Structure 1
Amino acid sequence: MRLHRLEVTAFGPYAGSEIVDFDALGADGLFLLHGDTGAGKTTLLDAIAFALFGVVPGARGQVKRLRCDLADPETPTEVVLELTVQGHRLRIVRCPEYQRPKRRGNGYTTQPAKASLAWVGEAPHGQRPEGLTRIDEVARTVQRLLGMSAEQFFQVVLLPQGEFARFLRAETTEREQLLERLFGTRRFADVERWFRELRAERGRELDRRRQDVRVWLERLAQVAGEEIPEDAAQPWVDDVRRRAEAAAAEAAEYARAAGVRREHADAVLHERRTTAERVRRLRAAHRELAALADGADERAAARAELESARRATAVTGLAAEADRQAARLDRCGQAELAARAAVAETGFEQPDAEVVVLRERAGDLREEAGTLAGLVEEARQQARDQARLAELQETATYASAQAAALGEKLDGLPERIRELREEHEAAAGAAARLGDVRSREATLAEARASAEQVPALERALAEARDAERAAIDAHQLARSELLDLRERRLAGMAAELAANLGPDLPCPVCGSAEHPAPATADGDRIGEEQERAAADRERAAERRREAAVDERHRAENGLAVVRERLGGQSADDLGHALAGVRAELERLEGLAVRRDRLDASVRSAEAELEDLTEKRAAADRAVSEADAERRSLAEYVEQRGRRLEEARGEHADVAGRREHLLRVGQALDRLADARAERAAAEDRLREQRTAVRDAALGAGFESVEAALAAARSEERVAELERRLREAEDAEVRARAVLEEPELAGVSPDEVVDVDSARAEAEEARVRAEQAVSRAHEAEGRARTVTELAERFATATGELTPAEEEFAELDALTDVVNGRGQNARRMSLRSYVLAARLEEVAVAATARLRSMSQGRYSFVHSDAAGSRGTRGGLGLDVLDDYSGTVRPAKTLSGGESFLASLALALGLADVVAAETGGALLDTLFVDEGFGTLDAETLDVVMDVLDELRAGGRVVGLVSHVEELRQRIPTRLRVRKSRSGSSIELEGAAPAVG
């Protein structure tokens, strides 16, 4: 990938249009991007990232404010990038989403994001020659050509030194997160999760199988009525099964014997019951015949009474009908009197007239009432129309008053709407500026906090320098003591050797066993232990000296970073600026908080204006319509009233007169009907009384009264018939019993003992039923025990292979997830990342040794962490001067920059190779050079010169003044009140 041209318009701090020609800028392979703090150096890198991926790296991408606040409202925000990837030159144009003023009316509207990709020259195979205009298609095409995602691009092309310094000192978890994003090892995490989920699933299944085995065992013990032993297994189950089957066989044999005894007792009881029943029947027959003989006279009287009642039946029916006709005549007379009184009340002059005359008069009255039916309906309509007239008058009056009230409300409403709109526009403008002012406030607050740290950082630096000087003095003193002790020990070495000589022991110098004049020590003798103690003190002092030097480097680096960030501003200056911004922010927030309420008020007022206008028009229409309808209806009501007045006569209204005529006609009809019915009742009563007399004489009675005296009720007749029939049936049954052959030879005085046989049979029955119940219970228990034993055996047989399979899966899952037999505590994902990190360490070591003049190398460690934590992602530094492996955290500020730069370059090479991405011909290194001394800076520049091999272009972003002298081609960014601008230094003008 090689960049050719970048153009930014209204982007970040650039209010106008700025162009960077990378072909001219990178002609020498190395260029410098420098300028004032906040001028927009890093914004150019953000523009490259935005053009390619539509996002910017780091925390800046979370704010999503890419448009320049100083740009002209009509100037669109746009980034144009021309580059070559895999031999294809393309031009990408992107516009972010931002708020711009409306072209018509007031307020703001959202300008949507846009993107396009055009091929400069021939399009690649499979691509449309006209290019792409959809954002998602542009993103997919760029990522496919580069072969890496946005996060990977930010790491391998825009080398952020701060992030790699944190990566160098990070713990295993943080380092793992970055490597996972770069190398895409999520699939290995999915494998780890798949193993964990499979183990959990198989574990639950195994628990269910174990629970099944336990359930079958508990059910077996419950059915068998036994306690489960601690070592319960298949032999115990088989023994329980055999005992249950033996108990079932024994219970069945006992039930069979009890059944035989029960059958014998039942036979004896049946025989005695049969004999006792015969004796009872014989005695009952004799008693029944004796009782019948005693009641013979009573039954003869009942037969005579029954015969007389049957002859009187024909007379009682006719007599009852005569009584009913008499009652009917009485009712007809009463009805006629009531009907005559009703006719008299109506004022009819001939209430005693014949039936024919009454019916004729009633017909005349009904005909007259019929002529008035139509006028009755007109009278009802007349009442409704009069009510409608009053309603119309009320409606017209109310509508007129409503129209007047609505007119008063409408008078001041337009002016109120105009005032609300002006207030809403002011609030909207304040809300639009809030984001920018809040961003300025956050920036100033952060800067002031940094400025307040300067005194503490200066004190810390002074203390670190004092501590360094003290450590150097202490180390030099300890070293002097060590050298002095060594010199004194060498001087007394002969005495030390002589002190170890003994009789018959060879001299370590000459080998002789004779020692005629051994040397003696002058003064205090210095031994090996004293020299070793002095050496230990010297090494401890050296370590304290190195620690003090590192602490001083860190203090200097921290103070330099803060001062570089402040750009010469003091805490008081930042405090005054922050107070002004906060006052402005408070004023804008006070206005912006009213925007939604004012917007709702404007909409409400406009809706009210529209609603009141419609209501007033409706009220005016209602007045006109009510007046027109009232005038038309009043004329018709007046004409109808004259007709009704003439038809009602002396009555209150037409309906009253018609009702009176109908009432008189109905009264005459009822009187005629009553008189005709009374005459018919008199004739029927005379006929019925004659029939009663003839029937009494025909039935053999002397008079009607005698016939009625002999009559009996139906219940009495039925009772007499039942008593005579029962006596005859009883006599027949008793004689039939005496004639039965099975009673021959049976004496009614014989005594049979049934109770003792019944007691013996009941006892035998109870015992037999209990025995059968116990046999069934034992058989069922044995059958259930057999079934449960078979299920237990099946469940046990399935459990064993499941336990073996789960044990294997459990161990494998622990190994894959960095536990169990995994001695290094490395998960599968960590193992893959460790391999990648090892590749990064190898690639970075080559550059780190060059930049540190052969002193430092990266060392990858896959050992487990402390207290059993995960390992595999350890990254330390080998110091060739001391031959020890040091933690990366012990490096000084300048050494940390060298290490992080080497690590960034190494990681860039590995990620590019891993993703199969396009050749990276352009790299940017952002800041960090201020921590290097002149000699180390030379070495780093040599390494960066090596990066230019093969036509690669390297861009440096830094404030370091010395780099301006070393790098001839420079791009300077200037800032002003009207927006930042770009100026090319040391090359032919190719930017604007």
Structure 2
Amino acid sequence: MVGRENQHRLERLENGQWKTDPASERVRELDEKLVRILGMDYEAFTRAILLPQGQFDLFLRGSDKERRATLVALYGLESLGEMAKRVAERLKALVEKKAALEGELKALGEVCEEELERLEEVLAQLRKDEVRLQEEIQRAKKDLEALRGLEKKFEELGRLRRRKESWERAQPEMETLSRQLEQAKKARALRPYVEGLQALESDFSEAQAQLQQTQNRLGSLERRLAELRREYQPERLEALKGQLAGIEALRLKEDALKRYGGRLDLRHPAPLPFDEDRMQFLREAEGLFKQKEQAQDRLAQAERRLEQARRELEEAQKKREALQKEIETLKQQGQEKREAHQKAEAWLEAERVRQGLAQYHPHLRPGEPCPLCGQTVDRLPPRPEGGELERLEREVKSLKDELDRLRERYATQRGHLKGLEEALPNLQKQLEEAQGSRASAEDELRSLEARLWGLASLEAVQEEQQQRLASLAEELHRATQGKKAEDLERRLKDELKHLSTLEKQVMQAEEELRHLQNEERGASARVETQAKQLEQQRAVVQALLEAAGFESPAALEQAWMEEEELVAQERRLEAHRQEGLEVSTRLRPLEEELAGQSPVTLEQVRAQEQKLQGLEMALREAQRTLGAKEAQLEDLRERLKRRQEALKEKAELDQKTDLWEKLAKDLRADRFPDYLLERYQRGLVRRASELIQALSQNRYTLELARGEYQVLDRWTEAQRPVRTLSGGESFMASLSLALSLSEHLSQGRIGALFLDEGFGTLDAESLEQVAGILETLPTQGRLVGIVTHVETLAERLPARLRVEKSPKGSRAYWD
């Protein structure tokens, strides 16, 4: 049980440490692994390892029918009924399968080897006919292929002759195209010269326009430069630069005034000179005064926490001492009540025995067997007198209730004491932490007072700050005439910027003027040079046109062809030439090959195709017949094979059916269960007899006679039924049977055994005898656990695991 949720966990010991097995995460997998480890499932475990309360006493004294039902449940023989049902189902399935085989054999009929041989002879002849037809088809295909080849050659001859006639008709057009291509190539060669002349003419026009534009820009720039020189003042520019150099010092002082909380309009009747270091010192002192107040508050809080921690610790210690005294008192009272309860129970049990014997006193006769023990009565015992049984029962109950109340109070107070003892270290730790906090606060306060030595108060520090800031404010007011340094700087910078801009504009205009003057001289020289080049190029182009047969540039443009068109026409001309060459090359050999041969007609080809189709149809019919006969032969073989297999299966089914019919008959008559129960019970009694002999110091042995358990007393050599045994003797016999059955069911796979018997119903004498039996129990190395509520029996066991209930739940611990 972990927390409030049921959990199953399997652990294994590895290298001295317990580790959780992965199978613990899934219940089904964990159950399967436990079955593999233990060699038994849950039902077998509860039968062999945990012996339930009162079951084996009933088994010992019950009737033969009751013992039979108990053994069937313990050995799991209930499954024999299911086994009989499954055997009947298996027998029914075998009978149905046998009937189906007989029906199949009847359907197969009579199949003989002679019919199979006749069908194989027919198939051999059909295969010969198939080979003959395939050979004739191959010859017909070769003849058809030869006719089709000759037909294609005559068709090719006609196509080549038609291509030759078409080529001859296109030849004049191709000659004209050849002359056009020649002129186009000349035009492409001369065109760069014409384009060069046109480019020169265009450049000359652009140079003239650029010269005129440069001259216009030069006149405009000269007028603008004259206006800038009239507005520009170099002396004022230098004066402004000097004034701006002192602005930085004013800004630093203004920043200091703001940093220490002053204003430009601050005044004081007794100002002091401004000192940056002194002001920094005063500001730090102001912060230290505030830290001192905070440190005093922390010290007061630490002292309050310390006092509270002391009170809580003292109260907890007082509660612990009171609980310890109360627990000791409860322990003494519990021991006294337990002793009184045990004595009262002993008196009550003795009174019950005395009252029980008093009921049998009238039935005792000297010389006759005792109805309780069966021994012969020699003389009558004195008649017991009546007692106060009801008063003793009330006293035992009262003592038991008071003892339970004391135990519950004892457990509750022990829990409170444990919780208090766990809390005391934490309270002591809180006290020590509070003491440390107070010491830290005292150290901090003394450090701050040492650093503030020589300063009167926070108000004196703040007054001196105001005096020094007032002096700095007056100085700034005189320098800026009541304005901010930022505003003064902005006005001076704006005027400086304007004059600086004028200065740059004058310099740029002068530089641009020099550049335009140079540009105007260069443009004039280019115009003169291009005029001379243009005249020379015009003479050269005219001479080239006349030499190529072109009257003018317009005639050259008329003969011009684009690169794509020129290439396409050349390809067309080349394709025409290749066409003529290919036709003449292929036509001459074909005419020589077909000279003197008659053309193949379409009727000749169709006649040969029909002959081939007839042969192929005859082959398909022969193959269809052959396939049908082969399928018939295969079916005949399968039927013959299946008939032989069915006969063999039927013989095997006959044997199985006889075996399962015998097994079903045995199970229906309970002969097999009776055999198992008799064998199990004899082995059980034999082992139980060995155990009771060991437990009784060789006095008793057990026997099974006519379905009843008998005990043989070797001291008196008398045999009597087990129901005549006393309480202790009956427990010894039941325990021997339980141990025998546990050994048989577990088969030594688990070294443990747990007895859950009703020891509380035994009288004092029987209980003493049972305790002696358990102490001498032959465990053979196994762990034997006794589940009991009898305190006197538990105290005689070597190790005790106690389970106690309380309002908080159950608790288990080793005593």
Question: Is the TM-score greater than 0.5?
Answer: no
Please state which structure has a larger fraction of its residues in strand: 1
- What TM-score results when the alignment is normalised by the length of structure 1? 0.34
- What TM-score results when the alignment is normalised by the length of structure 2? 0.39
Larger radius of gyration: 2
